[in-house]
Each structure stands twice: as structure tokens, then as C-alpha cells.
Amino acid sequence: MNSSVDLAPAGKDRAANQLDQLKRFTRVVADTGDFSTLKEYAPQDATTNPSLILKAAQMPAYKTLVEKAIADARKSGATGKALLSQINDLLLVLFGLEILRAVPGRVSTETDANLSFDTSGLLNKARRFISLYGQNGVPRERILIKIASTWEGIRAAEVLQKEGVNCNMTLLFSLPQAVACAQAKARLISPFVGRILDWHKAKAGKDFAPFEDPGVESVREIYAYYKKFGHETEVMGASFRNKGEILELAGCDLLTISPQLLGELKSSTDPVERKLSPVAARKSAVEQLELDEHNFRWLLNENAMATEKTAEGIRLFNADALKLERFVATQL
């Protein structure tokens, strides 16, 4: 997946910090809209979402980006909701452009949460993002379009991938979602480890050690399925609640990590052991799923956690997108 990754056993180098050790067998991605922190941790890629962009846009350091987005959108002559929508799109791309100046790889830019069940709307939004990046000289190879892992979102990704637009399937909580994304040949999936843990903690009334963490187990299963059945879609664990979850997934294709947890990894020199590998995954007992729309919807419905967390995630991202819109309106 990533030929630049050194697969030497990290545990033999006790002087290296855990972040550097992890980078030897996993592509590290920064999960942030605050690109000023990127140089410190030197990730390969970076991801954003509406919540992160909302937080960053309100920081004084990024006031000029908000002002530029407003000025550029006004040139179109749009007014009202149409103007706010254009400003939000430009703001996401402007943050993406700044991030790309700080990382050598790719940036993920998220489509509107309220389009999660609208295949044509998602296609239009993705193509607009690619066009805006292109106008700024950024090739589509450096962009990942983030789309919620609904049936409609996966169908949009299938079309986009055929057009050469790479997709990052987000809000993913189950194997059926992961399998459908792989069948659509999505470039990358982002299973949400921490949010899965949150649901199980609330139901069980107890915490889980990292090795038995339900979110970690979900990513292990998905990773094993992809490697066993030859899917090229990359697995990127996301939404971590603690460093232990990250270390249990060392060896995953990619991991997107918050600045706080990147800092914890960088401050420790404890050895990091590779936990996931293609060779071991191919020997797993995971069985192949046959999926069509009916089976996908039924299996997702039967998984209460995945159903609830997907819906909740869409609502929360939409709420933050609306907050961002209201914040922009105050700046007009």
C-alpha cells in the first residue's frame, strides 16, 4: 500500500519515540483542521470534518481564510443560502490547500452531511470540490472526498472512483458497510473506533481494555476481510479515544490521529509491536459476505450499534455544518 513505509521491527530501536516507530508500518494521518500543528508531527496525510473546520474557523489565526472565502464567494453574485453554501465550500477547500502545503500526501475534504442519502447531490458536491482544488493547481490524486457510508453514499463513491476521484468513506461502524465500500472500489474507509467503544461502554456500563476494545475488534475484522479476499481499499482507523486503541491497531494501512494523541505517542519511547499484518490476516476465519442493497440494509438494521452511530454521526456533522454556516453569516 505504501512503499515508503519501513517494515523493520520497531521494538528493536528503543530510542525512537512511539510515533516514529508506528510510522514504520502504518501511514500516519493527522485528524485536525489546525494545520499549524502538522509540522510538529510530520504526518503523511491529513483529514478534516465539519466539527474540526468549525473549531479551526473560529480561531483568530485563521480569520484571513474566512475573509478570503467570503470575498471570493461574493464575486459570484450569489445571495442568501446560496452565498453561505458557496462560502462553506470555499472555506473547506482553503483549509485543505493550507493542509496540503504542510503534508506530502493527501487531504480529505468532507461532503455535506445533509447529502448523505442523496447520491446525485453527493456527486455534484464532490465534483465541485475537485474543480475548486483544480483551479488552485491541486491534482485530484492529492484529494480524498469524504462521504458517509450509507447505501447512497457508497453508490456515489462507486461513480466517483470510476471518474478517478478517490473517496474516503467515513461514519463506518460495521463489516457490511466496509464490504459494500470495497465492492464499490472506494479508495479508503475510516472505521470509527472510539465511537464504537462509546456505544458499548454505555450499554455494558463498563470500560474495555485496548486489546478487547469493540472498536479495535471491528477494525481487526475489517482489515482481515480486506486482506483475505484481496480488496485494495485501504483501511484507516479513526476516532480514537486513547493511545491504547492506536497501539492495538499498529500495522493497519493508515491511522488518523488527533494532535493530542500524536503528542502522547511522540512523548513515549516504549516499544511498539506490529499487531496487524496482511500475512496473518489472510489466515483469519472471517467469512465472505454476499451483499446487494437488500442484504446491506438488512444487516445494517440488525446491527443496532452501527445503525445508531451512523445516524447520530450524520446528525452531529450536520449540526456542526449549520453552526459553521451561522458563524460565517456573522462575518458577512
Which residues are tagged catalytic?
146
* Alpha-carbon span 179 to 299, nearest angstrom: 12
Burial degree of 289 (CB within 10 A; 0-12, 13-18, 19+): middle
The C-alpha cell at 313 is 454521526
Considering just the CA atoms, what is the radius of gyration of the chain in Å?
19
> CB count, 10 Å around CB of 37?
18
Asked if 28 contacts 19 with a C-beta cutoff of 8 angstroms, the reply is yes
Task: With H, G, I as helix, E, B as strand and everything else as coil, classify residue 139.
Answer: coil
* Nine-digit cell string for 26: 502504518
| Integer angstrom CA distances of residue 46 from 12, 103, 134, 194, 246 | 28, 7, 18, 18, 16
d(CA 75, CA 68): 11
Query: For residues 47, 236, 192 and 59, what is the CA-based torsion angle, rounded to 10 degrees?
Result: -10
- CA pseudo-torsion sign 281, 286, 287, 293: negative
Given a contact cutoff of 8 angstroms between Cβ atoms, the answer to whether 131 and 108 are in contact is no
